[in-house]
A and B are shown apart, each in its own frame.
Chain A
């Protein structure tokens, strides 16, 4: 004996004309059923909207990151629904919190394990420059050991600031040339940090 349907029997027509925004398509030439664009633009578009972050949360900024991941500020709408903890699977290393000298080799190891292309965002004052802890045991900024793409100042930065930093990373990712990682300049940058 089937029960009568009680819910959703008068579905409302969804007005999608103003509900969904769309981003501009990359520069290209299109026609009926085809669209040509630069490969780096398309690849950049795909990458920037599906960045998988690795939250390297050590201290207080990690709690603000938890707030950013929550539903109020929602990092997932930028494509980062899946945060990974394995460096082999992630694109973006988000270093949040103070990095002490004891932790430095661990951070470097995690960075080395990430596969190209990889980006690094230093969230918070401690990761950018040591913050208020100008002491013997704190690394004065993670750019002493790994190359950093975006710095987000704040102690701790508001979730909106973390999202702004994330959007700047997205800009970098979208504009990046697909030959960058094999080029001489990038190799020189890594050699400056002692990374082969």
Chain B
């Protein structure tokens, strides 16, 4: 019964001082944030440190907060320590004008496609990724569909009447 959220928080603050911030306990899972330049250092530390041992990347996804100026896009990592059975969530924020984030695919092979999906949906440019192309949408698409500013429906369709769906 060694690893607790408290301990993880202490170790992170000890190593990275005020780079890590916004520690929250969301429904039992520790969640924290760091500047985007530090994301690889923090992921590497969580991977290598023998007491922390977060060697499984459960999930990597993007979120668009259109109202937070300067922090519109977020990359959220869910990490899991399988031996102690602890999960944590780690977020980095980036502005919509400068969307470069370092890639985690050298550390975790599973981040490869998850970053391509995040690029496809939000346009976050992962620096150092081997093959950053669109993965789920058609290659010719020229916008990033999951950003809040774009609509869900295909605007060129003629058979569905928006009036009838309450969207007119």
Please report A residues at the B interface, Cβ cutoff 8 Å. Answer: 101-102, 129-130, 134-138, 140-141
Give the complex CA separation of A102 and B154 in angstroms: 14
Q: Which residues of B contact A135 (CB under 8 A)?
A: 152-154
Q: Which residues of B contact A130 (CB under 8 A)?
A: 160
Within 8 A of A (CB), among B129-146: 136-138, 145
Q: Which residues of B contact A101 (CB under 8 A)?
A: 138
One of A102, A129, A134, A141 near B138 (C-beta < 8 A): A102
- Quick check: is B159 within 8 A (CB to CB) of the other chain? yes
The 3 closest A-B pairs by CB, nearest first: A136-B154, A102-B138, A140-B157
B164 CB to nearest A CB, Å: 12
Q: Which residues of A contact B152 (CB under 8 A)?
A: 134-136
Give the complex CA separation of A29 and B154 in angstroms: 57
Q: Which residues of B contact A134 (CB under 8 A)?
A: 152-154, 160, 165
Give the complex CA separation of A33 and B117 in angstroms: 70
Closest to B151 in A: A136
A123 CB to nearest B CB, Å: 19
Please report B residues at the A interface, Cβ cutoff 8 Å. Answer: 136-138, 145, 150-154, 157, 159-160, 165
Pick 25 A–B contacts, CB within 8 A, sort by A: A101-B138, A129-B159, A130-B160, A134-B152, A134-B154, A134-B160, A134-B165, A135-B152, A135-B154, A136-B145, A136-B150, A136-B151, A136-B152, A136-B154, A137-B136, A137-B137, A137-B138, A137-B145, A137-B154, A138-B154, A140-B154, A140-B157, A140-B159, A140-B160, A141-B159
A162 CB to nearest B CB, Å: 24
Give the complex CA separation of A134 and B156 in angstroms: 12
Q: Report whether over half of chain B's contact residues are helix, strand or loop; otherwise say mixed.
A: loop
Q: Which residues of B contact A140 (CB under 8 A)?
A: 154, 157, 159-160
Q: Which residues of B contact A141 (CB under 8 A)?
A: 159
Give the complex CA separation of A135 and B150 in angstroms: 11
Give the complex CA separation of A131 and B151 in angstroms: 18
Q: Which residues of A contact B154 (CB under 8 A)?
A: 134-138, 140
| A136 & B159 in contact (Cβ 8 Å cutoff) | no
Give the complex CA separation of A140 and B157 in angstroms: 8
Greatest chain A CB density within 10 A among B137, B138, B151 is at B138
Q: Which residues of A contact B138 (CB under 8 A)?
A: 101-102, 137
B159 CB to nearest A CB, Å: 6
Give the complex CA separation of A47 and B159 in angstroms: 34
Closest to B165 in A: A134
Give the complex CA separation of A138 and B153 in angstroms: 9
Give the complex CA separation of A151 and B19 in angstroms: 59
Closest to B136 in A: A137
9 additional A-B pairs beyond A135-B152, A135-B154, A141-B159, beta carbons within 8 Å, are A102-B138, A129-B159, A130-B160, A136-B150, A137-B137, A137-B145, A140-B154, A140-B157, A140-B159
B141 CB to nearest A CB, Å: 9
Q: Which residues of B contact A136 (CB under 8 A)?
A: 145, 150-154
Give the complex CA separation of A140 and B159 in angstroms: 8
A14 CB to nearest B CB, Å: 55
Closest to B167 in A: A134
Give the complex CA separation of A7 and B41 in angstroms: 77
Q: Which residues of B contact A138 (CB under 8 A)?
A: 154
